[in-house]
Each structure stands twice: as C-alpha cells, then as structure tokens.
Amino acid sequence: MQSKRGRLDRYLCTHLQTHRKAVRELMLLGNVSVDGLIVKDMDMQVDEFSHIQLGDQILQANTPVYWMLHKPIGVVSATKDAQHKTVIDLLDCEARYELHIAGRLDLNSSGLLLLTNDSRWSNALMSPTHKVDKVYRVTLANPLTEEYIAVFAAGMYFGFEDITTQPAKLVILANNVAEVTLSEGKYHQIKRMFGRFRNPVVGLHRLSIGDIVLDNTLAPSESRALTASEVACIR
C-alpha cells in the first residue's frame, strides 16, 4: 500500500478541481489551514491524516485507525471476495471498509492479523529493511527432527523467486509442533519450507508480529483497537 503523502497545493487542485494559480491565491489570502495553522507555503507536504480546511469548510479530517483481529480458519485475508467471508466483514470497527491488511494469512491459517488505514505504519511493519519478527505455531502431519532447526536457520533457496530465505528460528515444542519465527513474509513461506521435508502443515497460527501479541482474550473472529503503546512499537 502506497503512502499518500504529497504536496498541499496538488491536494487542493485535485480536491477543489481548480488550477494552481487559484489555489495560490486562496493560500496567500490565509484561507487554507492544516492542523489548525494557516499555511501559505505551496510546497508544504500533507498526508491522509492532515486536517485540511478551507475557511470553515473541512476538506479532510481522517484519523488513523489500527486494529487486531483473531483471524479464524476459513475467512479470507482480503477486503473483497466473491466466494468467502473476508476479515473486513468480521471487524467490529465503523471505519472497516477504509482499512487494509498489514500481512496476510492464508485461508486455512489463523491468529493475529493487523489492519489499518495508515499506509506508512503498515509499510514500516512489512518492509524487508525493518525485519519485524512474526511468530507462528505450526502443527505438522509428521514428527519433527533436530535437522529442521539447522535448515531453517541456514535459509532455504526458492528457485521460483530466485531468493534465499532469511535465517528463521525453529523451536520444537512437541513431536509434531514447532514455533517458527520469520523476519519476512514470502508467499506461503512456512508451508513451502516444511514442504522441503515433505511434511505437510496441518495447522498454522500467528502468535505475534514484532512486539504486538495476539490478545488471548479475543476468541476467533473477535477484534479490538490496538492500544497506543502497541501502535508505537512499529515506527
């Protein structure tokens, strides 16, 4: 999702359907304010959360919204789908149709899903340079061995994308249950990594993303707004 940052004069031209000269005049007359302050600088940068007014008329007043959902199995991580219920349909949030997903889960995966209308926040969360850890509990069809730990830590070559996965941490919790920590999110990454061992994933549940942990009071399909400190741990 692209960040919606841009020049104020461009925003006003588009929004008021007028040309730069008219916008310049409005600004020089002191008619335009951003976040409560009169602005005369044509080059000023604004984003989707800048409060923009023309005189008393509010042109833009969006507030950033951040939610966590306990995604159940069988619900698609998309904003629209012709066949399945989507995660957006489950959200208990008025602004839900304006939100996008920060890090999808497969149809048959469950656990922590984050949604927001703040593209800068979700980009920081998902950007490969930030290397935010995602922790999954994985249930396998067959028993695990110590060999998995070294192979996950070394990284795995995926010929289709011509990439080697970042070192991943695997902890064996039980005969056929592991906790896996990834710092990236390639397509079906966990299923494909266990696929190398011909060991099908039968359960995949995301426990955390960075310092944001799935709230254990949320039953599957329940959601809540993130707290200010949860939002602040991704910047």
Footprint of ligand URA on this chain (CB under 6 A)?
Answer: 105-106, 109, 188-191, 204
CB 89 within 8 A of CB 62: no
Q: Is-contact 191 201, C-beta < 8 A?
A: yes
Reference 210, options 116, 149, 124, 138; nearest CA is: 124
Angle at 155 between CA 173 and CA 123, to 5 degrees: 90
Using the CB atoms, write b or e for 29-68: b if 16+ within 10 Å.
Answer: eebbbbeeeebeebeeebbbbbbbbbeeeebeebeebbbb
Select which of 47, 81, 89, 106 is catalytic. 106
Strand partners, 115: 67, 101
Q: Which residue, 64 or 220, is less far from ligand URA as judged by CB?
A: 220
Identity of the residue, 109 or 122, whose beta carbon is nearer to ligand URA in the bound complex:
109
68 bridge partner residues: 114, 224
Residue 129, burial from CB neighbour count under 10 angstroms (0-12, 13-18, 19+) = exposed
Please report how close the Cβ of residue 187 comes to ligand URA at its closest, in angstroms: 8
Nearest CB to ligand URA, comparing residues 53 and 109: 109
Contact 38, 32 (CB under 8 A): yes
Pick the closer one to ligand URA by CB: 39 or 204: 204
CB of 190 to ligand URA, least distance (A): 4
The residue type of 166 is Q
Shortest separation between residue 133's beta carbon and ligand URA, angstroms: 13
Q: Closer CB to ligand URA, residue 15 or residue 188? A: 188
Q: Is 56 a catalytic residue?
A: no
| Contact in structure between 88 and 97 (CB atoms under 8 Å) | yes
Q: What is the DSSP string of 68-92?
A: EEEEPTT-BSSS--SSS-BHHHH--
In whole angstroms, the minimum distance from the beta carbon of 48 to ligand URA comes to: 28
Instruction: Compute the least distance from the CB of residue 54 to ligand URA, in Å.
Output: 45
Task: Cite the active site residues.
Answer: 106
